[in-house]
């Protein structure tokens, strides 16, 4: 003997009221790029002592805007033996050109000893495959001067909070700069390895080692390896 499991009455077709109940309209809708947000990240705020002379380094960037268009502020520089050795401030307009990539255009102002030069800036920044964070910017200054800066870094998660970060940065110039004591071509190359511990995501102390090679205006090379300690934070 078999029993039938067929329904005694057919399932009614869904009505407009049923569909409205299943898929209610969102109370608030935002198009991508419309919401205004801002962030400031201090990537490096570090100190060291080399041959008895103290030094400090900063590198930060902040932005305000939406998903597609942003205003960027970037700054980087060094103090040596209590004096400002070099530094710059950049104000840039950024536009998303691909997933994870922005094109930026704006101005850079050099601070520190020597001429206070101004540059026009054009570059790209973003996250490449395998999650390398990349910045590449070209600069055009007065009297036809030109320069370029390239930087890349990568986060290796040893644990959820312990992160090892290798990095490399290089600067190029089209001509010798006696006021900054830099040669034409690849004037500086810096490679670093920093280990940070994120006590909270917004605050992470770190230690590391940095090796720098600098080519001076007279063509001589100097190399320096230093142990650094600092903090990384964002707001």
- Inside any domain, residue 129: yes
Contacts of 192 (CB under 8 A, 6+ apart): 165, 166, 167, 168, 208, 209, 210, 211, 228
24: in domain: no
Query: Which structural domain range is residue 200 located in?
Result: 35-234
pLDDT band, very low/low/confident/very high, at 34 (cuts 50, 70, 90)? low
Q: In whole angstroms, give the CA distance from residue 178 to residue 77.
A: 19
Answer whether residue 1 shows pLDDT above 60.
Answer: no
In a domain, 13, yes or no: no
Task: Give the model's pLDDT for residue 41.
Answer: 96
pLDDT tier at 73 (50, 70, 90 boundaries)?
A: very high
In a domain, 219, yes or no: yes
Overall domain count for the chain: 1
Q: What is the mean pLDDT of residues 95-124?
A: 93
* Measured distance CA(161)–CA(58) in Å, rounded: 22
Please check whether residue 21 lies inside any domain of the structure. no
221-235 pLDDT per residue, tens? 999 999 999 999 999
| 22 falls within a domain | no
Which range, 13-27, 30-44, 49-63, 161-175, is most confident? 161-175
pLDDT tens digits for range 131-170? 899 999 999 998 899 999 999 999 999 999 999 999 999 9
Is 190 part of a structural domain of the chain? yes
Please tell me the distance from the alpha carbon of residue 57 to that of residue 47, in angstroms, as a whole number.
Answer: 6
- What CATH number did the domain enclosing 198 receive? 2.40.160.40
Is residue 71 one of the residues assigned to a domain? Answer: yes
């Amino acid at each position: 003997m078999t029993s039938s499991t067929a329904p005694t009455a057919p399932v009614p077709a869904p009505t407009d009221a049923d569909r409205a109940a299943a898929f209610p309209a969102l109370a608030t809708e935002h198009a991508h790029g419309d919401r205004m947000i801002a962030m400031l990240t201090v990537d490096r705020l570090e100190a060291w002592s080399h041959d008895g002379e103290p030094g400090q380094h900063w590198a930060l960037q902040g932005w305000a805007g939406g998903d597609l268009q942003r205003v960027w502020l970037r700054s980087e520089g060094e103090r040596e033996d209590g004096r400002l050795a070099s530094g710059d401030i950049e104000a840039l307009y950024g536009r998303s050109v691909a997933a994870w990539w922005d094109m930026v255009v704006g101005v850079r102002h050099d601070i520190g000893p020597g001429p206070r030069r101004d540059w026009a800036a054009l570059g790209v920044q973003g996250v490449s495959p395998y999650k390398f964070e990349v910045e590449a910017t070209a600069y055009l200054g007065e009297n036809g001067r030109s320069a370029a800066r390239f930087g890349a870094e990568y986060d290796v998660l040893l644990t959820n909070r312990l992160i090892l970060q290798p990095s490399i940065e290089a600067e190029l110039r089209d001509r010798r700069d006696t006021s900054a004591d830099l040669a034409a071509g690849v004037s500086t190359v810096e490679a670093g390895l920093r280990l940070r511990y994120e006590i909270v995501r917004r605050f992470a102390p770190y230690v590391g080692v940095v090796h720098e090679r600098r080519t001076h205006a007279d063509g001589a090379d100097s190399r320096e390896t230093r142990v650094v300690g600092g903090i990384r934070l964002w707001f």
